[in-house]
Structure 1
Amino acid sequence: MAPWKAKRLSFAARLTVARLVAASLPVYTMHTELIPSGVCRSIDKISRDFIWGDEENHSKFHLVAWDRLTRPKAQGGVGIRQTRQANLAMLAKGGWRLLKDKECIWRELILSKYGGQRADLDVLKKIQGSSFTWSSFSKAADLLKQGCAWNIRNGRRTKFWSDPWILQVPLKDLVIGDMPEDADEAMVADFVRADGSWRTELLSGRLPHDIVNKITSTAVDTISQEEDSLFWAPAADGRFSTRSAYALLTDQGQQGTDGVWKEIWRLPVPERVRCFIWLAIQGKLATNVMRFQRKAAESPCCQRCTDHPETVLHILRDCAPAAYFWCRHVPQPKQHEFFSDSHEDWFRKNITCKEVSSTGIDWPGFFSMTSWLLWKNRTTASFKGLSAALSASSLTHSIVTKTKLWDDSWHAPELFLNQKRKPVERIATAVGWTPPLEGWVMLNTDGASNGNPGPAGAGGLVRDSMGRWLGGVVANLGTATAALAELWAICYGLDLVWNLGFRAVKVASDSKLALQLIQERHDPTHPYATLLSLIR
């Protein structure tokens, strides 16, 4: 990432290099060693300077703050990693393997020396005189504690009040009023009846209603010999990943996503145009207004208009060449709204628009390419003089020609493949209840939640080969996800079938995910492992 290379690459290319090269160089070391803070800052600075094209003795505008660049794309950033946080996430992976990977020889070695063969969250603590590797792992202990929770199997190992299991925080932090006297010793199993149902009378009034509802949707296998185990709560499948650990460490999960960012990175335009739109929607282009604020320009006004501040919106919409172009391509009934929208609304509406331009190109792509070409014409005027820039009519003709060429080249591979493909033959199939074979029964189940998670319910009914109703079941699950509700429906339905004395049963559910979860083998760390075990 030398400065001379940065000069020869576009902003989009520099972003790609920074993501792929700078982020991967120290990975091997970061898995086992805590890199000094100064080194991490130096790595980040090299990436920053390269992205913005800084040279040894000349700094350029850093248009977007580093904290913004390091956000995920769905949250308005470009996905550059912060070295220190990435280092801690990778060390946490080593700590996770110490806790869970029982077949590794290195794990046995290091635990025998520092952990006394214990493998719980409290074992990862700094020990005086320990190796640098162990000290590095201990630095990630707080991150592991933040993300780990207990997956309930028989409930005999997890402390009900002081261990994180239903949430990523202990329930004692949510207690209404005083803590019970035996809170330190109470296990999850102490709150479950022999049939697996919860003793909610012990919880009502002590915990918020929504937490009690979430508890009642948790499965406990009271007759199982499998002990509770730790799982990684930020991941849907309970398995640790460096990506989810990094997201937890940087609070990415707490920040909402905005659909417009996803739309920007999905635009059917070259990457450099996507990067341009990403900068433009934030107002982070080097306009005269920005350059004047940073004391790099004598006037904030537009070079062409002379009396209007040169903002992003002025260059791309209101300046004479831009206005001339848009008046000829925006339908007359929509022009008032188009020219009166605020900066952010203007970009949002045009990027998410589902209409087609007068040239036959989808509007978001046409809008993005046009905006980029308008900006290029403005930079030509700034650096080479107004005489070098195209006139309004010539610019309009040039934009239409170039956008059509771009659209043809963009869709050429798709058109070629479509010519090679055989037309898809569509067959209409009537959907209805299909009776089971004679001697079998059919169990139809369904589960649903109002929100994901949200208040949930489940139900099922059993019929024979003649379609006669044999029994049914309904259940209020409390608070659950849609997938969990579907699994509970199957579990309750199978329990009903068993109690009715039937052994030849066919199960039908409208949830493909639930059926896949049942058919596939899953690690004991999966959040639904206990319920899946009960179903099987």
Structure 2
Amino acid sequence: MIVNYKRLLRCFDLMSGLSINFDKSNLISVNCEQGWVDQASGILGCKQAVLPVRYLGISLRANPCLVKTWKPIIDKVEEKLNLWKVKVLNKASKLVLIKSMLNSLPMYYLSLYKMSKAVADKLIGLQRRFLWCNEDGNYGIPLVKWELVQAPKKVGELGVGDAVLRNTALLFKWWWRFSKEDCLLWKKIVYSCYNINPNVMLAYQHLPWIWNFHWRKELFQWEMDLVHQLHERLRPVKLSTDRHDAIVWKFDKKGVFSTSSFLQVIQSEILVDEITSYSFTSAIWRSVVPPRVELFGWFVLVGRVNIMKRLSRLGVIPNSDNVCVLCKKEIESVQHLFLLCEVTWRVWCTWLRYFRTDWAVSGTIKGLFESWTGMHSRKQEQRKWLTGFFVVIWNIWWERNDRIFKIKEASVAKMQSRTILSYQEWTSSDPGEC
């Protein structure tokens, strides 16, 4: 029999021109006697191997529940997020690297194996360590919850993405292919292994329709409740007898499944109110200023900047050192430093004069941002005012850090001129131009 197989492969070689290199081939036996394996490998002229083996980068017969099965993925992530890179990257650059790392994960790996919680925690741990790590390599203070980092930008978050959700979307695609594609060998194997008859999913007995589901195992009570909910949903469905059955993905205009639409649906379902409450910050991501300034503006709007009040609450500094370094009168909070401080307000007034606008001060940084950026409907004016917002908060933070770490204090006029220079640098125009 082995000789006939070798002759058949030789015929394939002659007809297709695709030569088989037996020196690089392996004979993998399953429940075979060693003597027969030795004889067969000698006839074929190939080496022997045992499961598990690697094929196209995937371990055959490997247990996806074990962390060691995912070791190639974990090693790749750890290599890309090496801690030496934090010395030369700011947080915005770190986010870009984390996103590119997640997008470069082998899709065939994620589309075949279900990622376990241990593997997901390991990957998230590597990302968290890289993002919040200080320049000296020590773990820093996380500014926000990781769920805010993973949530999409269109709801106002950082949009890093979730490898677990992507893994789920890629696995779900197999269900779509199973229901849409016909006469495939892998589909026939699934039918055979699980004793599935696709023609008895529902039975028709005149009227009404009767849904007849066949389960591979006896259901638990909580699963029976879910089945009852399913029947309740299907009860009002009206089926047509003069049309062929078709499966349609209702979350896409064309009715075709895609992993991106699946991710959007799942994310909209699992996002909690705490995350959606920051949806107003989605207007930040317009690339009108450098990425690190955009990211800093986002941290300011969500109130997660390492100002004195927060550091004293965390025990990093004593409570006696939490006074604003600009006015030296009030406790330094996000609202005070970027809005209510008398020094900061004089800088805001400078920009109101440039924009020739009268404006009442808002009580919160959120109100400030929404009124400041929603004042005009024209896109050009919106970009102009949004840039002005970034210019002010960035230079306020710059001056605050200079006074703390460099013991350098600039006048209000100097701070105002810095904001103008920053605007000119980022937009190549003058703020007074219309």
- 1:346-397 Cα shifts (integer Å, max 9, x gaps): 12212333289xx998212112122112212222222212x2x432111211
Does structure 2 retain, via aligned residues, the 8 Å contact 1:74–1:257? no
Does structure 2 retain, via aligned residues, the 8 Å contact 1:52–1:62? yes
When the two chains are superposed, the root-mean-square deviation of aligned CA atoms in Å is 3.9
User: Which residue of structure 2 aligns with residue 286 of structure 1?
Assistant: 306
Counterpart of 2:105, as a letter, is L
SS of the residue 1:266 aligns to: coil
User: Which residue of structure 2 aligns with residue 297 of structure 1?
Assistant: 317
User: Which residue of structure 2 aligns with residue 76 of structure 1?
Assistant: 156
2:327 pairs with 1:268: no
2:254 pairs with 1:237: yes
**Percent identity (aligned):** 22
Of 119, 129, 133 in structure 2, the residue corresponding to residue 53 of structure 1 is 133
User: Which residue of structure 2 aligns with residue 210 of structure 1?
Assistant: none
The 3 A distance-change label for structure 1 pair 361 and 67 is closer
The two structures have a TM-score, normalised by structure 1, of: 0.53
User: Which residue of structure 2 aligns with residue 111 of structure 1?
Assistant: 190
The 3 A distance-change label for structure 1 pair 38 and 120 is farther
Of 153, 173, 179 in structure 1, the residue corresponding to residue 232 of structure 2 is 173
Does structure 2 retain, via aligned residues, the 8 Å contact 1:267–1:365? no
Counterpart of 2:121, as a letter, is R
SS of the residue 2:178 aligns to: helix
Counterpart of 1:272, as a letter, is R
Instruction: Tell me the CA shift for residue 239 of structure 1.
Output: 1.7
Counterpart of 1:173, as a letter, is E
Of 99, 107, 113 in structure 2, the residue corresponding to residue 19 of structure 1 is 99
- 1:457-512 Cα shifts (integer Å, max 9, x gaps): xxxxxxxxxxxxxxxxxxxxxxxxxxxxxxxxxxxxxxxxxxxxxxxxxxxxxxxx
**CA–CA separation in structure 2 for the residues paired with 1:360 and 1:83:** 35
The two structures have a TM-score, normalised by structure 2, of: 0.65
The 3 A distance-change label for structure 1 pair 277 and 94 is same
Counterpart of 1:274, as a letter, is E
The 3 A distance-change label for structure 1 pair 364 and 54 is same
The 3 A distance-change label for structure 1 pair 257 and 291 is closer
Does structure 2 retain, via aligned residues, the 8 Å contact 1:305–1:319? yes
User: Which residue of structure 1 aligns with residue 37 of structure 2?
Assistant: none
Of 411, 415, 420 in structure 2, the residue corresponding to residue 391 of structure 1 is 411
Does structure 2 retain, via aligned residues, the 8 Å contact 1:99–1:121? no
Instruction: Tell me the CA shift for residue 13 of structure 1.
Output: 1.0
Of 395, 402, 405 in structure 2, the residue corresponding to residue 373 of structure 1 is 395
Q: What is the total number of aligned residue pairs between the two structures?
A: 327
Of 265, 274, 277 in structure 1, the residue corresponding to residue 297 of structure 2 is 277
2:99 pairs with 1:40: no
In structure 1, runs of 5+ residues without a counterpart are 123-149, 163-168, 176-182, 190-219, 411-536
Does structure 1 retain, via aligned residues, the 8 Å contact 2:392–2:419? yes
Counterpart of 1:354, as a letter, is H
Counterpart of 2:232, as a letter, is D
- 1:423-448 Cα shifts (integer Å, max 9, x gaps): xxxxxxxxxxxxxxxxxxxxxxxxxx
User: Which residue of structure 1 aligns with residue 369 of structure 2?
Assistant: 347
Does structure 1 retain, via aligned residues, the 8 Å contact 2:152–2:159? yes
SS of the residue 1:114 aligns to: helix
Counterpart of 1:369, as a letter, is V
2:424 pairs with 1:404: yes
User: Which residue of structure 2 aligns with residue 431 of structure 1?
Assistant: none
In structure 2, runs of 5+ residues without a counterpart are 1-80, 214-227
**CA–CA separation in structure 2 for the residues paired with 1:326 and 1:381:** 20
User: Which residue of structure 2 aligns with residue 198 of structure 1?
Assistant: none
The 3 A distance-change label for structure 1 pair 285 and 235 is same
- 1:170-195 Cα shifts (integer Å, max 9, x gaps): 675369xxxxxxx6xx9734xxxxxx
User: Superposition pairs for residues 448-467 of structure 1, below 5 Å?
Assistant: none
Counterpart of 1:364, as a letter, is L
2:357 pairs with 1:316: no
User: Superposition pairs for residues 158-169 of structure 1, below 5 Å?
Assistant: none
The 3 A distance-change label for structure 1 pair 291 and 257 is closer
Instruction: Tell me the CA shift for residue 156 of structure 1.
Output: 10
Instruction: Tell me the CA shift for residue 46 of structure 1.
Output: 0.8
User: Which residue of structure 1 aligns with residue 352 of structure 2?
Assistant: 330
Structure that is richer in helix per residue: 2
